[in-house]
Amino acid sequence: MLPDGDQTVCLSGTPVSPGLARGPLIVLDEAVHVTTRTRGTPEEEKAGLQDALDQACAALTELMDQASDSEAEAILAFQVEMLGDTVVTDPAFEAIAGGAAAEDAWTQAMEVQIREYHEAEDLYFRARASDLRDMRDRVSRHLSGAVSAAIPPGSIVVANDLPPSRFLEIAWDGGAAVLFEGSPNSHVSMLARARGVPMIVGLERGELNGHLEAIVDGTGGMLIASPDAEAIAAFEQKKTLAAREQADQARYLVAPATTACGQRVQVYINVADGTELDHVDIAHCDGIGLVRTELLLRSMTELQDEERQYKIYRRIMEWAQGKPVTVRTMDAGGDKPIPGYTIDGEENTFLGVRGVRLSLMHPQILTTQLRALARAALIGPLKVMVPMITAPRELDHVRVLLESAIKALQQEKIPCAMPELGMMIEVPAAALAIDLFESDFYSIGSNDLIQYTTACSRDSGPLAPLQDPLQPAVLRLIHEVIEHANKHQLPISLCGDMASDARCIPALLGVGLRCLSVAPAALGRVKAAIARHRIADNEGR
């Protein structure tokens, strides 16, 4: 029996992407409805499964081509790679050879894979179980001839979970996504933030069938089904306030970032694949505080191509027009695998071989990158930043490789310059022993620093409350690193998500930080938060 659609229902969850939305309520039915058909010969069933796999790959590749950012492309590439992996598909083909129908063989084979991922100790692999379920359902729909239900633009979409590829297929246009499961740091949450789609995860359970309209407050983490006049009036008031805030942020966007008491704060931007630069005016920021090269270089071929890398870095340097640019060496591994480069099958990828640990296992590839960066350093003030540093010897090793690369370039009479070499502060061991490192500058990677300090994977929904960036231990570590940098007059910045979170700005300024690197979309919001803060005489000391 359906509930009374006129009765207002309010459900709360965890906000992961801010914003307001009102629209038709769509509750997704995640079951795959398989049509009954006559089973063919094993050869016909194998051909049917192969055709379904090919169609699924083609659809995902088309989504990749339409994606406007590297994060989305990397997520979809994982599914395409898995669909072409014989370890994934062979069990289904073997079952067909034994007489099974293609649908049954595919579903059963995928259930084994999904269970293995879901039960893995590593939360990264657990999070990828959602991608595997999406692959299973996508191929099953092709096999059965079923089609995904059309979702009108601007809808409020409620689901148990929402795989990235499904998210990318939906025309949000003022709509919102609400999930009963999910985590603030899942791939689909990152996509929602990047596209400005309001999103809530971990929504409390409630009966929503029968309701035709809903309101979502992505900032407060609230869904209101069948809103009454009072709820609608409150929504309209929030929209008016939000519009004023946006206008306020636009005003601050064009001016240098300055606190209420007149202190200047440097605000840089983070760059993923370079497409962001087409939508940002260099006059609105102080430069680039982070270039994520692992999102620019996706294959072993690209990693080994010095000329291609040099052209990429040159374009970025030319865009900066003489302002500083900090380029991070490859931070592959963890949730950013590169076939042939990263290590497969690690039990705990975030605590495994990633960042500089992986780079030093491939010194020739690192040297190629350092050569390209040294050449680009001639164009303007370029800095090289090394991720996941734990011990001083790691940074020392990279410095030796950089000096050798420059010496080789000089011998080859290739113009180059010596860039500054610095380190990311992500590992608590490095933060606690910061005085032991010979670094030209520091950049705090708050995402990993938080998860390593709190022993909470950023992919874990249940542990999200413990991953508070304002956790006292995290702020103390940040404060100690800033004090060391200031004492020795070394530049220090913060380039993680914390820098783009307006509620964290007072705390960061309070512990003495005066340089932030933020998501391009957060420039106005962060500058406005800086302008509202008045630094006390004892702050930052």
User: 142 catalytic, yes or no?
Assistant: no
Per DSSP, helices labelled H in 268-385 are 300-303, 306-320, 356-359, 363-376
Contacts by residues 205-212 (CB-CB < 8 Å, ≥ 24 positions apart)? 205/180, 206/9, 206/11, 207/3, 207/9, 208/9, 208/11, 208/25, 208/27, 208/158, 209/2, 209/3, 209/27, 210/2, 210/3, 210/4, 210/5, 211/3, 211/5, 211/9, 211/25, 212/5, 212/24, 212/25
Task: Lay out the sheet containing 199-201: strands in order across.
Answer: 9-12, 222-225, 213-217, 20-27, 156-159, 176-179, 199-201, 14-17
Rounded to 5 degrees, what are φ and ψ at 4? -70, 110
The helix (H) or strand (E) run that includes residue 382 is strand 382-386
In the three-class reduction of DSSP (H, G, I as helix; E, B as strand; rest coil), residue 100 is classed as coil
Q: Are residues 211 and 3 in contact, defined by beta-carbon separation less than 8 angstroms?
A: yes
Q: Are residues 163 and 188 in contact, defined by beta-carbon separation less than 8 angstroms?
A: yes
CA 152, CA 144: separation in Å to the nearest integer?
A: 24
The helix (H) or strand (E) run that includes residue 189 is helix 187-195
CA distances from 171 to 15, 31, 70, 127 (A): 21, 22, 19, 24
CA 389, CA 384: separation in Å to the nearest integer?
A: 13
Look at strands 325-328 and 20-27 and give their pairing.
unpaired
Tokens representing 137?
């359902």
Q: Which of 57, 456, 495, 515 is catalytic?
A: 495
HSE at residue 188, side-chain half, CA atoms within 13 A, is: 29
Tokens representing 32?
């795959």
Q: Which of 187, 211, 504, 533 is catalytic?
A: 187
In the three-class reduction of DSSP (H, G, I as helix; E, B as strand; rest coil), residue 226 is classed as coil
The helix (H) or strand (E) run that includes residue 176 is strand 176-179
Q: Are residues 215 and 223 in contact, defined by beta-carbon separation less than 8 angstroms?
A: yes
User: 495 catalytic, yes or no?
Assistant: yes
CA 280, CA 286: separation in Å to the nearest integer?
A: 12
Look at strands 20-27 and 213-217 and give their pairing.
antiparallel
Identity of the amino acid at 218: G
CA 235, CA 231: separation in Å to the nearest integer?
A: 6
Q: End-to-end distance of the chain based on CA atoms, in angstroms?
A: 64
Angle separating helix axes 42-66 and 86-97, nearest 10 degrees: 160
CA 509, CA 258: separation in Å to the nearest integer?
A: 11
- Rg (C-alpha) for the chain, rounded Å, is 25
Catalytic residue ranges:
187, 495
